[in-house]
A and B are shown apart, each in its own frame.
Chain A
Amino acid sequence: MLRYVLGRLWQSAILLLLVSFIGFVVLSLAPGGPLSQFALSPGMTQEQLDRIAEQMGLNRPVIIQYLEWLRHMLAGNWGVSYRDGQPVLKIIGSHLFATLLLMVTSTILAVSIGSTIGIVSAIRRGSVFDYTMTVLAMVALSIPTFWFGLVAIYVFSLNLGWFPAGNMYTAGDGSILDYARHLVLPAMVLALVDLAIWSRYMRTATLNVINQDFVRTARAKGLPRRRVLFKHIVGNALIPMITLAGLQLPTLLGGALVTETVFTWPGMGRLFLDSLGYSDYPVVMGLLMTSAIFVVIGNLAADLTIALIDPRVRLE
Chain B
Amino acid sequence: MTDDPNRNSPFRPSRRTALRLMGAGAGALMLPSAIGRSAALAAGADATGQLILAFSQEPTVFNPFMPHIEVDEGIHFAVFDTLFTFDPKGELYPVLVTEVPTVANGGISADGLSWKIKLKEGVTWHDGTPFTAEDVKFSLELPVDPDFRSWRTTGYNLMKDITVVSPTELTWTMTQPFAPMAAVLGSTWIVPKHAFDGVADRNSAPFNNAPIGTGPFVWKERMAGDHIRLEANPDYHGEGPFIKTLIVKYIPDLNVMYTQFKSGDVDVVGLQWITPDHYEEAKALPGKTVEIAGAGSFESFALNMMRPQFQELAVRQALYAAIDKQSIIDALYYGIPQVTETYMPQQSYYYNPDLPKHEFNLDTANKLLDDAGWAKGPDGIRAKDGVKLSFTNSTTAGNHLREQAQQFIQQTFKEIGVEMTISNLPPAVMWGEFWMQSQFDTCIVGMNTLLGADPDNSDYFMSANSAARGGAGQNTTCYQNPEVDALFKQGGETFVPEDRKPIYQKIQELIRHDLPLLPLYQYAVVKGRKENVTGPVPNVNNRIDTWNVNTWKM
Contact = CB atoms under 8 A, between A and B. Distances in A.
Contacts of A266: 223-226, 250
A40 B2 contact: yes
B122 to A, nearest CB: 31
A38 interface: yes
B6 interface: yes
B1 A40 contact: yes
Nearest to A56: B149
A33 B251 CA distance: 24
B149 A43 contact: no
A143 B352 CA distance: 53
A262 B60 CA distance: 21
Nearest to B472: A45
B370 interface: no
Nearest to B148: A55
Interface of B: 1-13, 50, 52, 58, 60-62, 67, 69, 149, 152-154, 203-204, 208-209, 223-227, 229, 245, 247, 249-253, 255-256, 259-260, 262-263, 265, 426-429, 431-432, 448
The 3 residue pairs across chains A and B that have the minimum distance between CB atoms: A32-B428, A42-B10, A43-B11
12 contacts: A31-B429, A32-B428, A39-B432, A40-B427, A43-B10, A43-B11, A55-B149, A85-B208, A94-B225, A171-B50, A266-B223, A270-B225
A42 B69 contact: no
Contacts of B6: 40, 42
A33 B428 contact: yes
A80 B205 CA distance: 13
Contact of B67 (A52, A95, A165, A263): A52
Contacts of A274: 58, 225, 252
Contact of B265 (A35, A94, A164): A164
Given A94-B225, A274-B252, 19 more contacts: A36-B432, A42-B6, A42-B12, A42-B448, A55-B203, A80-B204, A84-B224, A98-B226, A153-B263, A158-B262, A158-B263, A166-B256, A171-B227, A171-B229, A261-B253, A264-B250, A264-B260, A266-B225, A271-B225
A48 B427 contact: no
B82 to A, nearest CB: 16
Contacts of B153: 48, 51
Contacts of B5: 40
Interface string A262-295: 1110110011011000000000000000000000
Given A171-B249, A270-B252, A84 B209 contact: yes
Contacts of B431: 39-40
B75 to A, nearest CB: 11
B67 A38 contact: yes
Interface of A: 31-33, 35-45, 48, 51-52, 55-56, 80-81, 83-86, 91, 94-95, 98, 150, 153, 157-158, 164-168, 171-172, 261-264, 266-267, 270-271, 273-274
A152 B62 CA distance: 36
Nearest to A174: B223
B426 A32 contact: yes
Contacts of A43: 10-13, 152, 154
Contacts of B255: 150
B58 A261 contact: no
B224 A262 contact: no
A95 B226 CA distance: 10
Contacts of B10: 42-43
A171 B220 CA distance: 12
Contacts of B448: 42
Contacts of B223: 94, 266
B438 to A, nearest CB: 15
A166 B8 CA distance: 32
Contact of B426 (A31, A85, A164, A267): A31
A165 B229 contact: no
Contact of B60 (A41, A56, A84, A94): A84
Nearest to A277: B1
A95 B225 CA distance: 8
A153 B253 contact: no
Contacts of B251: 166, 264
A85 B224 CA distance: 12
Contact of B253 (A44, A95, A158, A262): A262
A171 B256 contact: no
A172 B231 CA distance: 11
B203 A85 contact: yes
Nearest to A264: B251
A160 to B, nearest CB: 11
A140 B429 CA distance: 40
Most buried by B among A39, A81, A262: A39
Contacts of B249: 167, 171, 264
Contacts of A153: 259, 263
B450 to A, nearest CB: 9
A42 B474 CA distance: 11
B1 A262 contact: no
Contacts of B432: 36, 39
A175 to B, nearest CB: 16
Contacts of A55: 149, 203
A84 B69 CA distance: 12
B427 A36 contact: yes
A36 B8 contact: no
Contacts of B209: 84-86
A45 B12 CA distance: 8
A158 B50 CA distance: 21
B224 A172 contact: no
A158 B286 CA distance: 13
Contact of A40 (B7, B154, B208, B250): B7
A37 B432 CA distance: 11
Contact of B61 (A39, A80, A84, A167): A84
